[in-house]
């Protein structure tokens, strides 16, 4: 991201928070002279005013001056203050690995989360070792078929 604020839309702190809250983010801080100082990545981003502080914002692993301005261009953001420029980029969510009931049987061990073969939901499928099948709490179906929930 080049940081040409003329081509970016200025946004409020609240709008920045709304667009970035709990997203995967990468952010880089450069001092006013352009020297890259810090680069971070986080899976659950937040940006909050520090209670009792008039001009500081808290975010994972980093503090930011609340006196600066935020700019937006798509999924990229920029914050400019007297201390330097911070570039933010929303990253795509990481895909969570899920398993089929057959993977659990083959591994002879519990693997989670299990994806339902019927409704395709992940996480609410419980493997019953004594039965050798898994039950989906979302759709109410056994994965390998035929069994009624007891």
In this structure, the answer to whether residues 15 and 41 fall within a common structural domain is yes
In this structure, the answer to whether residues 81 and 13 fall within a common structural domain is yes
Q: How far apart are CA 23 and CA 146, in angstroms?
A: 41
In this structure, the answer to whether residues 9 and 62 fall within a common structural domain is yes
Structural domain includes residue 142: no
Instruction: Read off the CATH number of the domain in which 75 is found.
Output: 2.30.29
Q: Is the preceding peptide bond at 43 cis, omega within 30 degrees of 0? A: no
Q: How far apart are CA 23 and CA 60, in angstroms?
A: 12
Model pTM above 0.75: no
- Domain interval for residue 77: 5-90
- Any idea what the Cα angle at residue 83 is, between residues 40 and 7, rounded to 5°? 80
In this structure, the answer to whether residues 15 and 61 fall within a common structural domain is yes
Q: Which of 130, 131, 126, 95 is nearest to 111 (CA)?
A: 126
**Which residue reads 């503090």 in tokens?**
63
Per-residue pLDDT of the chain (150 residues; tens, 9 = 90+): 445 667 899 999 999 999 999 888 999 988 878 787 888 888 888 998 888 877 889 988 888 888 889 999 999 999 998 888 999 999 987 767 889 999 999 988 888 889 999 999 888 899 998 889 999 999 999 999 856 544
């Amino acid at each position: 991201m080049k940081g040409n604020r003329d081509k970016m839309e200025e946004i409020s702190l609240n709008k920045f928070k709304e667009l970035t809250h709990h997203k995967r983010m990468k952010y880089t801080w450069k001092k006013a002279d352009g020297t890259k100082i810090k680069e971070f990545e986080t899976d659950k981003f937040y940006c909050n005013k520090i209670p009792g502080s008039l001009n500081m914002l808290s975010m994972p692993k980093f503090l930011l001056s609340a006196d600066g301005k935020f700019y937006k261009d798509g999924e990229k953001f920029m914050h400019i203050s007297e201390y330097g420029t911070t570039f933010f980029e929303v990253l795509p969510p990481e895909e969570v690995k899920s398993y089929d009931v057959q993977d659990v049987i083959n591994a002879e061990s519990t693997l989670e989360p299990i994806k339902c073969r019927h409704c395709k939901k992940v996480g609410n499928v419980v493997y019953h070792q004594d039965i050798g099948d898994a039950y989906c709490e979302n759709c109410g179906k056994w994965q390998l078929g035929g069994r009624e929930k007891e």
